[in-house]
Amino acid sequence: MTSPLRAQIRRLLPAGVAGAELLEFARAAPLLIDEEMAVATAAESRRLEFRAGRDCARRALLELNYPIQPLRRRADRTVEWPEGVVGSVTHTRDYAAAVVARSCDWGGIGIDAELSDGANDPKLWRLIATPEEITWVAAQGERAAFSATLLFSAKEAFYKAQYCLTARWVNFDEARFHLTPGGFEIELLIDLPRVGKRGSRLSGSYCEDEARIVTFLALPARR
């Protein structure tokens, strides 16, 4: 299944953001020549993920009236989007999605998908969460694995969105997750130029189905 997005994913995206998803990797369009080089020596599973992600990205760009074109991989392993575009790609074992927007509309966007119980090992929590967050996750009882996965995915969506503006990665202990009635917020624990000051909260959204969690966060364009 490819673009258009399912309704629950579409609801995550604000105006000006286009997206596409793929539920069967075998249906992804072939890579273009300039893209093949990025995974020429990769394992077949990695090649399939990469191909599915690039297929979603090109379909999303079509919604913004950008023609089919190679989407090369930069030295930092991010996508080389067309000039004036920001975007984000995600994939899990059986799912890929991409979102794109014009940089005049949104400064940064991030999407992430994780298997619903992906963070089911408490030993992993200290690698992705602050002590306060670990306490919150542990208090969720039967929903602890889900809550840890949601926390991780939300931070990943934020990291991707902020990278569009900063070109730097943020550590897991430099941002704090908060669950809200309508989605989630990421609180900055550091000053992050072009994104916000320490204490700022950035709103994101998520949805879940029987298999996975999908999170999304967008940052305003800098005027």
Query: What would the pLDDT profile of 72-93 be if each residue is shown by its tens digit?
Result: 999 999 999 999 999 999 999 8
The residue ranking higher by pLDDT, 218 or 93, is 218
Cβ neighbours of 121 (radius 10 Å): 11
CB neighbourhood size of 216 (10 A):
30
What is the CATH class of 7-106? alpha beta
Query: What Cα–Cα distance (Å) separates residue 47 from each residue in 8, 12, 53, 56, 102?
Result: 28, 28, 10, 14, 28
DSSP-derived secondary structure letter, 219: E
Tell me if residue 177 falls in helix, strand or coil: strand
What is the pLDDT, as a whole number, of residue 1?
A: 43
Model confidence band, residue 126 (pLDDT cutoffs 50, 70, 90): confident
Count of alpha carbons within 13 angstroms of residue 143, beta-carbon side: 6
The reply to whether CATH 3.90.470 applies to domain 115-215 is yes
Question: For residue 36, what are its two tokens?
Answer: 């093949």
Query: Does the pLDDT of residue 197 top 50, yes or no?
Result: yes
DSSP, collapsed to helix, strand or coil, labels residue 158 as: helix
How high is the pLDDT of residue 119?
Answer: 75
Phi, psi values for residue 79, rounded to 5°: -80, 140
Q: What confidence tier does 209 reach under pLDDT thresholds 50, 70, 90?
A: confident
- From its phi and psi, is residue 173 left (phi > 0), alpha (psi between -120 and 50) or beta? alpha
Residue ranges of the chain that CATH labels 3.90.470.20? 7-106
| CA 221 distance to own-chain centroid | 18
Record the pTM.
0.94
